[in-house]
Amino acid sequence: MLGRNPIGPLEYTRRLWLRLWLLAVFVFLYAPIVILVVFSFNDSRRNIVWQGFTTDYYVRAAQNASLIEAFGNSLIIAFVSTILSTVIGALLALALWRFRFPGRAGLDGASALPIVIPEICMGVALLVFFNRIGWPTGMPWPLNLAPIIIGHVAFSFPFVAVVVRARMAGFDRSLEEASKDLGASEWQTFWNVTVPFMKPGLIAGSLLAMTLSLDDFVITFFTSGPGTLTFPVQVYSMVRFGATPEVNAASTVLIVVTILLTIIAVRWQRPDKQAAELG
C-alpha cells in the first residue's frame, strides 16, 4: 500500500534515509532503558550476560530496607516539592504575565537563574546557606527532609513558571472581562476562568517539577544531612559496589511509576486542552 502513491515533496517520513535516521535516534534514546528493564529480570549477580528469567531481584529490592526507605523519602520529597513549586511557580508566572510593576524585568531575569546556574553551584550554595543559618541537623524523620525539599523547590519552581507563562501567553484577556461583565468578582474570575485555562500548564509544570525532584542527585547530595537517603543517592552508593540486577529492578519500578503518573496527567488534561486551544 505504501509504495502506491509517489512520495510527496514534504513527506519526509516516507523516505528511507529519514526512516533509518529515526530508527537510529530511537535506538540511541531507548536502548539503554530497554536493557535496564530486561536485565532486571536476569538471573545473575552480574549485569553482563543473560542467564535466565527471574523476578528474584524485585523481591530482594523490596526486602532491602535502606532502598525502600530511600524510595519512600524520594516520593515524599517529590510530592511536597512538586506542590510547593507548582504553587510558587504559577504565582510567579501570573505576576509576570499580568502586572507591570517596577523591578519586573529584574524579577523576570532573576527567576530564570536557577535554570541556568550549574547544579553543582546550586548544591554548594545551598549547603553553605544551611550551614550559615545554622539549620538544625539530625532532626527526626520526616523533618530531616525539609532542607532537601527546600533545595528542590528552589530549582524546580522556575521551570513551572516558564511552562505556565507559555500557556498564559495564549490567553484571551476578554475572557476575564467577560467573566467580570457577567457579575463575577476578581476572585471568582480567577478560579472559574483563569485557573481552568492555566490547568494544562499547571499539569505539565508539575510533572516537570516532579521528574526533576525524583531524579535529582547533585543538590540532594549536598543538602541531605547525615543518614538521610534518597533513591538516586542510594542507587549511586549501591552501584559503587557493582551494579546488581537489584538496582535495575528498583529503577524499573521508578520508571513504571513515572510513566503511570504521566499517563494519568495527560489523560486528565486532555478534554480541556482541546477546548482551550480554540478559545
Partner 1 sequence: MRDSVAPIVEPPIVEIQNVTKAYGSLKAVDDVSLAIPRNAFFALLGPSGCGKTTLLRMLGGFEHTGTGRILIDGEDMAGIQPNRRPVNMVFQSYAVFPHMTVAENIAYGLKVTGVKRAEIGPRVEEAIAMVRLGGMAGRKPDQLSGGQRQRVALARALVKRPKLLLLDEPLSALDKKLREEMQLELVRLQHEVGITFIIVTHDQEEALGMASEIAVMKDGKILQVAPPRQLYEHPTRRFVAEFIGASNSFACEIVAIEGENARVKSPLLGELVVERAAPEVTSGTLIIRPEKVRMDFSSPEPQPGEALIRGTIDQIAYFGDLSIVYLTADDGSRLQCSRYNVSRIARPDPAPGTACTLGLHPEDLLLVGD
Q: Is 13 in the site for partner 1 (CB under 8 A)?
A: no
Footprint on residues 34-93 left by partner 1 (CB under 8 A): none
Q: Is 268 in the site for partner 1 (CB under 8 A)?
A: no
Q: Is 109 in the site for partner 1 (CB under 8 A)?
A: no
Residue span 189-208 as binding mask against partner 1, x where in contact by CB under 8 A, dash where not: ---xx--xx-----------
Q: Which one of 99-107, 172-180, 234-242, 250-258 is the stretch in contact with partner 1 (CB under 8 A)?
A: 172-180
**114, 154 Cβ separation under 8 angstroms:** yes
Q: Is 272 in the site for partner 1 (CB under 8 A)?
A: yes
Q: Is 172 in the site for partner 1 (CB under 8 A)?
A: yes
Q: Is 175 in the site for partner 1 (CB under 8 A)?
A: yes
Name which position in 180, 236, 256, 259 contacts partner 1 (CB under 8 A): 180
C-alpha grid cell, residue 160: 513551572
Q: ω into residue 9 within 30 of 0, thus cis?
A: no
C-alpha grid cell, residue 187: 476572585
As measured in angstroms, the least distance from the Cβ of 105 to partner 1 is: 23
Closest CB to partner 1 among residues 55, 185: 185
Q: Which one of 27-35, 134-142, 169-177, 241-249 is the stretch in contact with partner 1 (CB under 8 A)?
A: 169-177
Closest CB to partner 1 among residues 29, 278: 278
Question: Which one, of 265, 246, 242, 123, lies nearest residue 231 by Cα?
Answer: 246
**217, 236 Cβ separation under 8 angstroms:** yes
CA 192, 193, 197, 202 torsion: positive or negative?
Answer: negative
Number of neighbouring beta carbons within 10 Å of residue 29: 9
Residue span 126-165 as binding mask against partner 1, x where in contact by CB under 8 A, dash where not: ----------------------------------------
As measured in angstroms, the least distance from the Cβ of 277 to partner 1 is: 7
- The Cα–Cα gap between 114 and 135 comes to 22
Please give the angle made by the CA atoms of 169, 174 and 178, to the nearest 5 degrees: 140
As measured in angstroms, the least distance from the Cβ of 181 to partner 1 is: 5
Name which position in 102, 105, 174, 240 contacts partner 1 (CB under 8 A): 174
3-class SS of residue 161: helix
**92, 157 Cβ separation under 8 angstroms:** yes
192 DSSP assignment: I
Beta bridge partners of 190: none
Provide the binding-site residues for partner 1, judged by CB under 8 A.
Answer: 172, 174-175, 177-185, 188, 192-193, 196-197, 272, 274-279
